Amino acid sequence: MEHYDDLETRDPEERERALFEELPRQISNAKTNAAGWAEILADVAPNHINSREALAELPVTRKSELNDRQNSVPPLGGLIAAGSGELNWVFCSPGPIYEPGVRNGDFWRMGRALYAAGFRRGDIVHNTFAYHLTPAGHMMEAGAHACGCVVIPGGVGNTEQQLQAISHIRPKGYVGTPSFLRILLEKAAEASLDVSSITNAAVGGEALPPSLRDYFRSGGIDVLQSYGTADLGLVAYESPAMEGMILDEGVIVEIVRPGTGEPLDEGEVGEVVVTSLNPTYPLIRFATGDLSAILSGQSPCGRTNTRIKGWMGRADQTTKVKGMFVHPQQIAEVTARHSEIGRARLVVDNTNHVDVMTLQCEVANGSDQLKTAIASSLHTICKLKGDVIFRKPGSLPNDGKIIDDVRTYE
C-alpha cells in the first residue's frame, strides 16, 4: 500500500469540508470540558467557527501563555478536555512546559510520517529519542507501533551499547536526530560494527542540511523529516517526493504575520499557527513560534494535502534597544496604522556603538508627510525614536523577518 490511509488522497475540497465540520465540535468540546478554553473562548459561538475566515478571528494562544496558565492551574493549565484518570503521562519539556500523553493508539499521529518514511509492519525500528521527562521517545514509538513495527527503545546516550544492539538485532529503521545518526555511523565504522541493516530513517528535532542527507544516501539510508511539537503532535512530514512537507490530516494550519493572527497569502513566509483536532488536548490557534510558508500545488507522491516549505527559522524576533524591548507585534501595529505600507522590516544597528532603529517600508508612492507620520507611530508605539525609509514594493526579502538585529559587538 503506497499511502497510510485514504485520507491522504482525498479531494482537497472534501478535506476542507471535513476539517471545518469537525472544528465547531472541537471548539464546543474545548469550551465544555476545559475551563481554560472556556475562558479564552468565552465569547465564541462554536457553530459560527466553520471557515478559515471565522477561525482567523479567534485569539492566538502562545507557548508563553501555556506556561502562565500551567503555573496558575497546575499541571496543565485547565486546557485538557479529559479527566486526569484518562491520561497516562504528564511530560515535562524545557520551559518548563507540561504536556499530556495517552497510551491507547497513536495519540500524536506520528504513524503517518513514519509510514511515508518507509516503515512497514514487521520492521524493527531503533528509536533514539528521549524517553525521560520529554515525550519525543513515546511519540515516535506510538507512531511506529501504529505502523506495525517492533521498537528498540534506545533513548539518548549509551552510544556503544546502542551500536551493539543495532549490530545484533539488525533493525531496518532509525528514529532520532540526524546528527546522532551520523555519530552512530561514524562510531560503528571505528569499531568495525555492521549497522548496514538500517536503510530507512525518520528524523526530526533539528535541521537536516542537504549535504547530510546526501551523506546518508551514499551509505544506503533514505532519510525523511517530520515536523511536530510535544503539544501538537505531528504537523507535517516529508514523502519520498521530497518536495516540501505535507500537512497531517488531523490539524488545520495557518501561516500568519509574526506577532499577529493575520493569515498570509500562499508563498508568504510567516509564523506557523496550528489548530489541533485532538479531542483530549484541543489546542486552538496555537502559535508554534516557527516560520514557514505554504507551497502551491500538490505533491507528486499522490498525497493531496497542503504542503509547507518546512522549518525556516523562528518567528520570535523580540529584541532590546536602549534597554527597551521591541516586539514584532509592535511593528505590525505601526504598519496597520498606515495602509500605504506593504511589507515592513525594522533594522536595528549600533552605528558608532549607539543603537539605531530604521523602519524599512515597502511603499508605492511615498511622501515626506507619510514618512513623518510613520515615524511618529513608531515612536508612540515603541517608545523609541527611529528613522523611516521607503523601499520599492517587492524589494524586501520574503523571509518572514519583521525585526532584523544586525548589531555587532566587536
Q: Report the 10 Å Cβ neighbour count for 170.
A: 14
β-pair partners for 166: none
What pLDDT sits at residue 323?
64
Global pTM reads 0.84
Range of the domain at 361: 319-405
What pLDDT sits at residue 309?
94
Would 136 be classed as within a structural domain? yes
Would 194 be classed as within a structural domain? yes
- What CATH number is attached to the domain comprising 288? 3.40.50.12780
What pLDDT sits at residue 399?
87
Shared domain for 334 and 287, answered yes or no, is no
Domain end marker among 305, 334, 353: 305
Cell of 103: 497510551
Residue 12, H or E segment:
helix 12-33
Domain end marker among 247, 270, 305: 305
Domain end marker among 240, 270, 305: 305
What pLDDT sits at residue 164?
97
Shared domain for 325 and 298, answered yes or no, is no
Shared domain for 332 and 294, answered yes or no, is no
Would 311 be classed as within a structural domain? no
Would 314 be classed as within a structural domain? no
Averaged pLDDT, groups of 10, the chain, 410 residues long: 94 98 98 97 97 98 90 95 87 88 94 98 97 94 98 94 97 94 95 97 90 95 96 97 97 92 94 96 94 96 96 79 80 95 93 84 96 97 94 93 82
Shared domain for 150 and 240, answered yes or no, is yes
What pLDDT sits at residue 324?
76
Shared domain for 224 and 347, answered yes or no, is no
Shared domain for 36 and 156, answered yes or no, is yes
What pLDDT sits at residue 350?
82
What pLDDT sits at residue 69?
95
Cα–Cα nearest to 36, from 286, 273, 361, 375: 286
- Tally of structural domains, the chain: 2
Residue 245, H or E segment:
strand 245-247
What pLDDT sits at residue 319?
83
What pLDDT sits at residue 155?
94
Shared domain for 300 and 398, answered yes or no, is no
What pLDDT sits at residue 311?
84
- What CATH number is attached to the domain comprising 350? 3.30.300.30
Express each pLDDT in 224-280 by its tens digit: 999 999 999 999 999 999 999 999 999 999 999 987 899 999 999 999 999 999 999
Would 1 be classed as within a structural domain? no
Cα–Cα nearest to 204, from 171, 161, 234, 184: 234
Shared domain for 300 and 337, answered yes or no, is no
Shared domain for 85 and 195, answered yes or no, is yes
Are 322 and 379 in contact, with CB atoms under 8 Å apart? no
What pLDDT sits at residue 67?
87
Shared domain for 334 and 380, answered yes or no, is yes
To 10 degrees, the CA torsion angle through 26, 27, 30, 31? -150
What pLDDT sits at residue 32?
96
Shared domain for 87 and 169, answered yes or no, is yes
State the SS3 of 56-112. CCCCCEEHHHHHHHHHHCCCCCCCCCCCHHHCCEEEEECCCEEEEECCCCCCCCCHH
What pLDDT sits at residue 326?
86
Would 398 be classed as within a structural domain? yes
Shared domain for 389 and 277, answered yes or no, is no
Give the whole-angstrom CA distance, residue 288 versus residue 19: 20
